[in-house]
């Protein structure tokens, strides 16, 4: 996996987490609505008396899935933080984590647009070197 492919995971994880957060709210809402009804009418079909517990378990399972995505995002951020140059770190965070434009990044670095893009290639090479060193042999 190239450095750029590795970093592109950030956007996908952020989108997935956003969608998962909305789904989690729906699950929580549904879990709060699950109640056991008591009445005098005999019921021939067996009732699921653990509906609320099952709903809560589904919420907890979803939260675990979300935590796994957050952990992946945290690992990528730690890899970015480990690059050798603070300016490389700045550039990678602004471009891949915050999705800022090249013009905004160039202003932040105090470089021209073309110099910023060349600097970006250096930052990717730095990150790629780190990724290759950490790959299992």
Tens digits of per-residue pLDDT, 28-41? 887 777 555 555 66
pTM for the model: 0.74
Residue among 116, 113, 115, 73 at smallest CA distance from 91: 116
pLDDT value for 136: 47
Runs of H (alpha helix) within 34-83:
51-81
- The domain ranges of the chain are 3-35+51-134
Kindly report, residue by residue over 41-72, the tens digit of the pLDDT. Answer: 655 555 555 777 888 888 899 899 999 999 99
How far apart CA 110 and CA 92 sit, in angstroms, is: 15
Tokens 């690059």 identify what position? 83
The Cα angle at residue 127 between residues 123 and 131, in degrees rounded to 5: 170
- Average pLDDT of the chain? 86
Confidence check: pLDDT of 8 > 90: yes
pLDDT value for 115: 96
Q: What is the largest CA-CA distance in the chain?
A: 79
Q: Tokens for 46?
A: 């067996």
């Amino acid at each position: 996996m190239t450095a750029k492919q590795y970093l592109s995971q950030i956007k996908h994880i952020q989108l997935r987490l956003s969608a998962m957060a909305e789904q989690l709210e729906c699950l929580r809402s549904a879990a709060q609505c699950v109640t056991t009804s008591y009445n005098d009418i005999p019921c021939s079909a067996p009732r699921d008396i653990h509906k609320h517990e099952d709903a809560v378990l589904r919420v907890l399972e979803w939260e675990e899935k979300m935590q796994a995505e957050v952990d992946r995002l945290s690992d990528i951020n730690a890899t970015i933080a480990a690059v050798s140059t603070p300016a490389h770190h700045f550039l990678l965070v602004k471009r891949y984590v915050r999705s800022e434009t090249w013009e905004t990044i160039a202003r932040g670095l105090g470089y021209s647009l073309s110099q910023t893009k060349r600097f970006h290639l250096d930052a990717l090479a730095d990150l790629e070197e780190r990724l290759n060193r950490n790959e299992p042999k």
